[in-house]
Structure 1
Amino acid sequence: MTAKAELRVEGRLPELGGATAWLHSRPLTPADLRGKVVIVQFCTFSCINWLRTVPYVKAWDRKYRDHGLVVIGVHSPEFPFEHDLQKIKSALGGMGVDYPVAVDNQFAVWRAFDNAYWPALYFVDAEGRIRHHHFGEEDYERSERVIQRLLTETGSSDVDEDLVSVEPDGVYLSADWGTLRTPETYVGYARATGFASPGGLEPDGRTVYVEPSKLELNQWALSGDWTVGEQITTLNEPGGRIRHRFHGRDLNIVLGSRAGAGPVHFLVLLDGEPPNGASGLDVDERGIGTVSEERLYQLIRQDAPMAERTFEITFLDAGAQAYVFTFG
């Protein structure tokens, strides 16, 4: 997008009053924001798709705040643990997110925008009109050009037209879209796909699962004593395992532990061997790691060339809870 590209009016900034709490700000209203360029981003702190946008949004906030840009995060939780205000504060604080965040535990702001995505960006001009939106990741250059255009419309004459320089790493590194062949995989029955253990999932019932002799690409299986809930799959006895056949550079999983269970230790293998140089941030080269809090865990990051691999994670303690696999 060039600085002269036209931006049509898509609607008006709705009220934000449905937020259950605010971080880093008093509650904001459209009237408070009149005269400012605003970007509103919907997020939830365990979402890898949102995490990979964080370095860019933070960089825009730093560069353009003094020119009249206001960045607002709207934290609309996907999983039950993401309703906890202290966990939200801790997660966002650890990422260095210090711009205003509306905590949207009742999805009131989500509904006011008629939103359906994590992440989603809405770009609002100084008159309170939504002029652009972007759903999902990437498109960072176009998004920044929109910010520059809207700031220029306010009369700012000293907006630097260079783009921010961002070099993300860790979980923030963009997916390797050219080699990624595996979609996100939920392990709760409400959205589960690709489940391959014989007999299928038993909703809400304590069940001993076994693995099939072979997994095809994008299939996964359980072994051991598990209870599969709508969103959360919980291990009842030590030694349970999840296996997944995937194709991608990164494998992440959102994990937690049952109340009172304490830390849960686990062992990760890749094609039956320790991951060694393919270990992610949350395991060592032997594949050893610990679930210490509810969040996204990066377990595999491998170098090219990519191929189909079989991932497995064995939990050495009862009480492990799994939510969703994501890939990059």
Structure 2
Amino acid sequence: MSVTFERVELSAFDGATEWLGPEPSGRPELRGRAVLVDFWTLTCINWLRAQPYVRAWSQAYRDDGLVVVGVHTPEFSFERDSDLIRQAVAAREIDYPVAVDNDYAVWRAFDNHYWPALYFVDADGVVRDQHFGEGRYERSEQVIQRLLGVERELVSTLVEGRGVEAEADWQHLRSPETYLGYARGENFASPGRIAYDESRAYELPEDLRLNQWALAGQWTVGRENVLLDQAGGTVACRFHARDAHLVLSSGGRAPIPFRVLVDGQAPGGSHGVDVDGNGDGVLQEGRLYQLVREQAAIRERTLEITFGEPGAEVYAFTFG
């Protein structure tokens, strides 16, 4: 996508509902500064994998005059919770100011459409470059250096993401992001029809084809998510990837235990960071949970997650 080189007014940030960050006032001084604006939302796996680079740039070029501004614009309703955003800021070690953009005012001011999105703004307030999604890290850092008038070894070449921040295994990734709410849900495979916004009992099919998903137990399928109405409900999917993640929320309820099986067995050494080798985990705050990181040959697998208490809200599978 070509860059339009439009001027960004400081008023673009006036719509922020709150500022989080190291400065007492929250909102940084941007006039006459080179600025990197990073749009994110806390459950986005693409942002999580790009975040180590933004963090490294902020630290490497702060003394050269770079100001990094995060803009948290929520994809799902529960991501409007400031406490959850603060937890994400702490977990990702974000040490630059973050505008909480619950009303999408900053998003609209930039005419943005993506998570993550980077805007590179010069000291005159002109957007000199932009990038959407993951990748292109070395070129992005070169843009930062041009804005600052510096030239030195790139820190991007030294970045190594860990845990959920690790780069995807693109060579073996054959499963797309999969939403479960009816507004964007596809490839639902449980027998019978979906009852929109009504509680209904579902069953798993005899077989799941690649990238299909299904429910078992008593669930309510809403626009954004599926909500478990009775303990013991299961979500299953068939995927081909090294990593399997699930966006979950408890809706403010007590912690909800869950169990993950892969092809009917405990994941063992291929468990994700949010479950143990037996497949046991606990849903607490709303965020992205890593369920599987495959240590053996990557192939088609069937993942099942069963919740021990009602109230689990399940939003989307993502893979890596």
TM-score bucket (shorter structure): over 0.9
Corresponding residue number in structure 1 for 2:243? 250
Corresponding residue number in structure 1 for 2:274? 282
Residues 267-293 of structure 1: per-residue CA shift (max 9 Å, x gap): 111011110011000111011111111
Structure 2 distance, partners of 1:184, 1:242, is 15
Displacement after TM superposition at 1:317 (Å): 1.2
The one-letter code of the counterpart of 1:170 is G
Corresponding residue number in structure 1 for 2:33? 36
Instruction: Decide which of 204, 222, 226 is 1:211's aligned counterpart.
Output: 204
* Contact 1:48-1:326 at 8 Å conserved across structures: yes
Secondary structure of the structure 2 residue equivalent to 1:325: strand
When normalised by structure 1's length, the TM-score is 0.92
Cα RMSD of the aligned pairs, angstroms, is 1.5
Structure 2 distance, partners of 1:218, 1:167, is 29
The one-letter code of the counterpart of 1:321 is E
Task: Give the 5 Å matches for 1:215-226.
Answer: 215-226=208-219
* Contact 2:84-2:285 at 8 Å conserved across structures: no
Task: Give the 5 Å matches for 1:1-40.
Answer: 10-14=5-9, 15-24=12-21, 25=23, 26=25, 28=27, 32-40=29-37
Unaligned runs of 5+ in 2: none
Displacement after TM superposition at 1:34 (Å): 3.0
Structure 2 distance, partners of 1:245, 1:139, is 30
Structure 2 distance, partners of 1:183, 1:84, is 27
Check 1:92–1:66 CA distance in 2 against 1; reply closer, same or farther (3 A cut): same
2:114 maps to 1:117: yes
The one-letter code of the counterpart of 2:179 is Y
The one-letter code of the counterpart of 1:17 is D
Corresponding residue number in structure 2 for 1:62? 59
Residues 27-52 of structure 1: per-residue CA shift (max 9 Å, x gap): 648xx423211110100111111111
Displacement after TM superposition at 1:304 (Å): 4.5
Corresponding residue number in structure 2 for 1:305? 297
Paired residue total = 314
Displacement after TM superposition at 1:9 (Å): 5.4
Task: Give the 5 Å matches for 1:1-328.
Answer: 10-14=5-9, 15-24=12-21, 25=23, 26=25, 28=27, 32-152=29-149, 156=150, 159-164=151-156, 165-259=158-252, 261-328=253-320
Unaligned runs of 5+ in 1: 1-6
The one-letter code of the counterpart of 1:40 is V
Structure 1 distance, partners of 2:243, 2:308, is 23
The one-letter code of the counterpart of 2:130 is H
Secondary structure of the structure 2 residue equivalent to 1:242: strand
The one-letter code of the counterpart of 2:263 is D
The one-letter code of the counterpart of 2:107 is W
Structure 2 distance, partners of 1:162, 1:181, is 32
Identity %: 54
Check 1:271–1:80 CA distance in 2 against 1; reply closer, same or farther (3 A cut): same
Displacement after TM superposition at 1:54 (Å): 1.2
Secondary structure of the structure 2 residue equivalent to 1:86: helix
